[in-house]
Amino acid sequence: MENTWIAMIMGLLILLASMASVELGISVALVEIGLGVIAGNFLGLHSTSWIDFLAGFASIVLTFLAGAEVDPDLMREKLKESALIGGLSFLLPLVGTWAFCYFVVRWTNPASQIAGVALSTTSLAVVYAVLVETRLADAAIGKLIMASTFVTDFGTALALSILFIRPNWWIVPFILVSAGLILFMPRLKPWFFSRYGNRVIEPEIKGAFAALLVLIYFAHLAESHAVLPAFILGLAVARIFQRHREEQRRFRIVTFALLTPFFFIKSGMNVSLNLVWASFWLFLMLLGVKIGMKFIGVYPLAKRYVAEHAMYTTLLMSTGLTFGTISSLYGLNAGLLTQAQFSILVTVVVVSAILPTMIAHRYFDPRRYLEAAQEVPRIPTLRPSLVAEEEER
């Protein structure tokens, strides 16, 4: 009975988030996170094993799709820019947050290191979801931001693995399976598409889901995470998706309609407002440290390489969610963080997914430049009914 009640509430929240997103003109991912905070703190909603699984799977699928959106030629061409932006976006928040927590707040060194790792991230899931919703994923600026985000998250995952995670012998099969999928899936896809493609049962999507579930399984055995191989796998099949845009569109529809709402709502449910309120000053300072370090690292480079989109790029690179939550949760489960420290870090991570994105699209939306250059389709700002009236006139 409890599972059906939770499923009903989740379904209503997902529908409400979609309606609010359309009416307010805000990314649905941000609305879902906000509703998750409300549901967890005021409606008594809690996560279940099936929500945990759907949310975890959604983060991997989003990462895979983000990789598939990156233009390999553009990534190769902009390798220097993405490596510098993404590298400093990771390194400065890592060092700055660690130093602040250790020397100013007097957290233990392991707790300070976890905080540095958690707040060094840029959320590939949030960045990709926002860019797709705003139709910027296919624009050059969107692809550069996603490539830079990958560099940042690669650094975060590497730091977490080196500092804390002690994988078992299953790491070898995990690496071999990941390498096998990355090498052979692009070679198999053309035949698979020609043999089974364009059918209502969608074998192409099911094939991608099956590959990602294999990655998740072996990552679990190795006590690791499937985010990085999922992104690289997406990169490996990017050219195939570019040749099959309709299939890519259907993949997006399935992902954003069914999976991602559970990921974003569950992320909001991790926030405990009571624990955050008890240390509100620390929450504000950590948020300031994260965003401040991101600005110091990203903005000068963005100003040099994408001058007209420098502030937008910096704000999106300031977001966090997936790896920030994973790192914080690891610290809590390993006994390196207290419950209060965990709640503060997760809240900073969640707010950093919402606040910079809202500011970026409210004041620095690059579509006004790109529409003029016809790089992205013009998106009406009027409600559909008003657009119809305007066309009649």
Query: What are the extents of the domains in the chain?
Result: 2-369
34-48, 162-176, 378-392 — most confident range: 34-48
Considering just the CA atoms, what is the radius of gyration of the chain in Å?
Answer: 20
More confident residue, 182 or 140: 182
What is the rounded distance in angstroms from the CA atom of residue 315 to the CA atom of residue 98? 21
Dihedral in degrees, nearest 10, Cα atoms 157, 159, 160, 161: 80
Give the side-chain half-sphere CA count within 13 A for 317: 41
> 256 near 129, Cβ under 8 Å?
yes
What is the rounded distance in angstroms from the CA atom of residue 234 to the CA atom of residue 212? 10
Cβ burial, residue 239 (10 Å; 0-12/13-18/19+): middle
What is the rounded distance in angstroms from the CA atom of residue 25 to the CA atom of residue 361? 10
Q: Per-residue b/e over 262-300, b at no fewer than 16 CB within 10 Å?
A: bbbbbbbbbbbeebbeebeebbebbbebbbebbbebbbe
pLDDT at 12: 94
First to last CA, the chain: 53
How do residues 167-223 score in pLDDT, each as one tens digit?
788 999 999 999 999 999 888 877 877 777 777 778 888 889 999 999 999 998 988
Axis crossing angle, helix 227-236 with helix 203-221, rounded to the nearest 10: 150
More confident residue, 337 or 290: 290
The label of the residue with tokens 């090498």 reads 183
How do residues 100-130 score in pLDDT, each as one tens digit?
999 999 999 999 999 999 999 898 778 888 8
pLDDT at 310: 94
pLDDT at 281: 94
| Closest CA relative to residue 208, chosen from 254, 264, 148, 154 | 254
pTM: 0.77
CATH code for the structural domain at 2-369: 1.20.1530.20
Sorting pLDDT into bands at 50, 70 and 90, what band is 81? very high
> 159 near 324, Cβ under 8 Å?
no
What is the rounded distance in angstroms from the CA atom of residue 122 to the CA atom of residue 320? 5
Length of the chain in terms of residues written? 393
Sorting pLDDT into bands at 50, 70 and 90, what band is 384? very low
Maximum Cα interatomic distance, the chain, rounded to a whole number of Å: 69
Report DSSP letters for 8-72, one per residue.
HHHHHHHHHHHHHHHHHT--HHHHHHHHHHHHHHHS-----HHHHHHHHHHHHHHHHHHHHHS-H
What is the rounded distance in angstroms from the CA atom of residue 200 to the CA atom of residue 367? 34
The label of the residue with tokens 């959604």 reads 58
pLDDT at 59: 84
C-alpha 101: how far from chain center: 25
| Closest CA relative to residue 174, chosen from 214, 227, 211 | 214
What is the rounded distance in angstroms from the CA atom of residue 56 to the CA atom of residue 305? 34
How do residues 222-246 score in pLDDT, each as one tens digit?
887 787 888 889 888 888 887 877 8
pLDDT at 120: 94
133 SS3 class: helix
Whether 391 has a pLDDT exceeding 70, the answer reads no
